[in-house]
Amino acid sequence: MKAPLESRFFHYNGSIAIHYKVVGRGPVPIVFLHGFASAHDTWLDLAAMFPADGFTLYLLDLKGFGLSAKPRDGAYSVRDQAAVVGDFIRELGLRQVNLIGHSMGGTIALRVCLDGQRDKEPFAVRKLVLIDCAAYPQKLPKFFRRLRSPVLGPLLLHLIPARRMARMTLEKVFCSPAVTPERITRYALYFCGRGVSYALRATVKGIDPAEYARAGESYGTLSVPTLIIWGMEDRITKPKNGYRLHGDIPGSQLKIFRNCGHSPQEERPRETCAAILAFLDNEQFPPTLKQH
C-alpha cells in the first residue's frame, strides 16, 4: 500500500510560497530537490518504494517550479535556490537531514552542504545523494541558449505547444522506452501556466559558469558522505562528469546505470531506490566504483 502524499506550503522570506509534498512518517528525513523544468512529481515513482515507517520524505518544488510561487524578482540562481532550501530545513526544525538532488537540484544540494560547512547552521546534512548532477561548467543545451534570448526565449515558450515541448525534451533526456504518454502529460505541465516562462528564463539567465568553476574548486573540502548516481546514456550531463565528481569528492561512491539517460529516478526507480537505501543504511563509505 502506497504511503499517502500530503501537500503543504512554507513561506520563504515571509511571502514567497514554496510547495512541498510529505510522504511517510518515519524517523529518517530526506529532502528531495528536482532539476530544471521539473517539479516534485519527478520523485513519485521512487518515493513509493521507501518504507513509510522508516522515512519521512519531503518532495520540494523549488522556487519558480511546480506549485511554488514564481515571483518576478530575478533571484533564481543556484545560490538563491540554496538559500530557499536552507530556510526550508530550518523551518521544519530538522537537526539532521539527508539531501537527494537531481541535475540542477544536485548542484543546489552541493551548495547547501558547502554553505553549511562554512556557516553555523542549526542543521547538519548527514548524507548526500547526487543524481546526474550539473556540477561543472559546460556548454548549455540548445534549448537553454534559446531561452536566454530576450526575443526568442518568450516566443519559444509561447508558440510551441506544451505537449510538444515536453516530448522533445524527454526524447533528449530519457532513453526512448521511458518516454511514455503519461510522462509527456506530466512534463507538459512544467512548460505552461502563469509565471512559468519567466521562471524558466530567469533560471537559465542565473547560470554563471564562473560560479560553477569556483564551486568545483570546493568539492574536495566536502565532508558529507556522498553517493553519486549516473545514467551511462546521459546526453545532458555526460558520464565523464560523474567520474570527475567521484574523483573530486573525498570518499564518495559512484553507481553507473547502463541503458539509462539523465533521470535514473524515473527511468530506473527500483535500482535507484535500492542504491540509495543501501547507502543510507551503511555507516562505512569506501570510495568504490560499481557499474550495472
- The rounded distance, in Å, linking the Cα atoms of 225 and 5 is 28
Lowest mean pLDDT segment, chosen from 22-26, 55-59, 165-169: 165-169
**120 against 238, higher pLDDT:** 238
* Contacts for 69 with CB less than 8 Å, ≥ 6 apart: 16, 17, 18, 63, 195
What's the pLDDT band for 3 if we cut at 50, 70, 90?
low
pLDDT score at 285:
39
Q: Considering the domain 5-139+208-291 in this protein, what is its CATH number? A: 3.40.50.1820
**Share above pLDDT 90 across residues of the chain, in percent, rounded to a whole number:** 65
pLDDT score at 154:
73
pLDDT digits over 163-210, tens only? Answer: 888 888 888 889 867 788 888 988 888 888 889 889 998 998 888 888
Lowest mean pLDDT segment, chosen from 70-74, 84-88, 114-118, 282-286: 282-286
- The rounded distance, in Å, linking the Cα atoms of 188 and 183 is 8
pLDDT score at 290:
37
Do the Cβ atoms of 59 and 40 come closer than 8 Å?
yes
1, pLDDT greater than 50: no
pLDDT score at 282:
77
pLDDT score at 215:
85
Strand, coil or helix: 288: coil
Residue 289: strand pairing partners: 254
Model confidence, pTM:
0.92
pLDDT score at 291:
39
Number of residues written out for the chain: 292
pLDDT score at 283:
55
pLDDT digits over 211-232, tens only? Answer: 888 888 999 999 999 999 999 9
Residue 12: strand pairing partners: 16
Mean pLDDT confidence for 78-87: 97
Closest CA to 65 of 101, 103, 39: 39
44: cell is 513519485
**Share above pLDDT 70 across residues of the chain, in percent, rounded to a whole number:** 93
**144 against 2, higher pLDDT:** 144
* Long-range residue pairs from 82-87, CB within 8 A, at least 24 positions apart, any chain: 82/108, 82/111, 82/112, 82/115, 84/12, 84/16, 84/18, 85/31, 85/33, 85/60, 85/109, 85/112, 86/112, 86/115, 86/116, 86/121, 87/12, 87/13
Q: Any idea where the domains of the chain sit in the sequence?
A: 5-139+208-291
